[in-house]
Amino acid sequence: MSPSPVTANPWLALRRFTRARIALGRAGVSLPTAPHLAFQQAHAQARDAVHLALDVPALQAALTALGHETLWLHSAAADRDAYLKRPDLGRRLDAPSRQMLLDRCSASALQAAEPQARGCDIAFVVADGLSALAIGRHAVPFLQRVLPAVQAEAWSIAPLVIVEQGRVAIEDEVGELLGARLVVILIGERPGLSSPDSMGLYLAWMPRPGLTDADRNCISNVRPEGLDYEHAALKLMQLLRESRRLQLSGVRLKDEHGASAAPAINP
For 185, other C-beta atoms within 10 Å of its C-beta total: 28
Q: How many domains does the chain have?
A: 1
3-state secondary structure of 60: helix
Instruction: Give me the tens of pLDDT residue by residue for the chain, a chain 267 residues long.
Output: 456 777 776 777 777 777 777 777 778 878 888 887 887 887 787 787 787 889 999 999 999 999 999 999 999 999 999 999 999 999 999 999 999 999 887 544 455 556 655 689 999 999 999 999 999 999 999 999 999 999 999 999 999 999 999 999 999 999 999 999 999 999 999 988 778 899 999 999 999 999 999 999 999 999 998 999 999 999 999 999 999 999 999 999 987 765 444 444 443
Asked if residue 204 is part of any domain, the answer here is yes
Q: What is the pLDDT, as a whole number, of residue 266?
A: 42
The structure's pTM equals: 0.83
Asked if residue 255 is part of any domain, the answer here is yes
Q: What is the pLDDT, as a whole number, of residue 155?
A: 96
Identify which of 171, 73, 83, 62 has the alpha carbon closest to the alpha carbon of residue 123. 171
Return d(Cα 140, Cα 144) in angstroms, integer. Answer: 6
Asked if residue 11 is part of any domain, the answer here is no
Distance of CA 165 to the CA centre of its chain: 13
DSSP bridge pairs for 201: 186, 219
Q: What is the pLDDT of residues 140-183, one digit of tens each?
A: 999 999 999 999 999 999 999 999 999 999 999 999 999 999 99
Strands lying side by side in the sheet with 70-74: 70-74, 160-164, 120-127, 180-188, 199-205, 216-222
Pairing verdict, β 199-205 and 160-164: unpaired
Asked if residue 157 is part of any domain, the answer here is yes
Distance of CA 48 to the CA centre of its chain: 18
Asked if residue 22 is part of any domain, the answer here is no
Q: What is the pLDDT, as a whole number, of residue 3?
A: 62
Identify which of 131, 125, 104, 129 has the alpha carbon closest to the alpha carbon of residue 198. 131
Asked if residue 5 is part of any domain, the answer here is no
Q: Which domain holds residue 107?
A: 50-261
Q: What's the CATH number where 80 sits?
A: 3.40.50.11240
Asked if residue 39 is part of any domain, the answer here is no
3-state secondary structure of 91: helix
φ/ψ region of 261 (left if φ > 0, alpha if ψ in -120 to 50, else beta) reads alpha
Asked if residue 36 is part of any domain, the answer here is no
